[in-house]
């Protein structure tokens, strides 16, 4: 929970899936990193993991340059089924 800087009262909040910072529950974006709290989007890729270039799945959008990680494109955020249905 976050504390009010004026009265020190506890403010209920939402924990950001990307950076772990707590933002007041009414917030739509993380106050620390700016990521959306409403739609977490694709899972972040761990920097320690090596990208398997041989087995990567490219976004089927046709105009997007992302790869599919965790079921969603790392650039446009759509699933392969969503991207194919729009083309």
Over residues 35-62, the pLDDT tens digits come to 888 865 566 656 556 667 788 888 888 8
> What pLDDT shows up at residue 4?
81
Tell me what the mean pLDDT of segment 16-31 comes to.
86
The predicted structure's pLDDT at residue 51: 67
Q: What is the pLDDT averaged over residues 70-84?
A: 82
**DSSP secondary structure of 11-36:** E-EEE-TTT--EEETT-SB-TTT--B
Taking the model in full, what pTM does it have? 0.40
Contact between 29 and 36 under an 8 Å Cβ cutoff? The reply is: yes
């Amino acid at each position: 929970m976050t504390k009010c800087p004026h009265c020190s009262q506890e403010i209920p909040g939402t924990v950001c899936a990307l950076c772990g910072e707590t933002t007041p529950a009414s917030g739509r974006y993380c106050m620390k990193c700016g990521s959306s709290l409403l739609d977490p989007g694709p899972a972040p890729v761990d920097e320690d993991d090596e990208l398997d270039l041989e087995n990567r799945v490219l976004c089927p959008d046709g105009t997007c340059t992302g790869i599919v990680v965790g079921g969603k494109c790392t650039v446009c955020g759509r699933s392969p089924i969503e991207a194919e249905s729009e083309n």
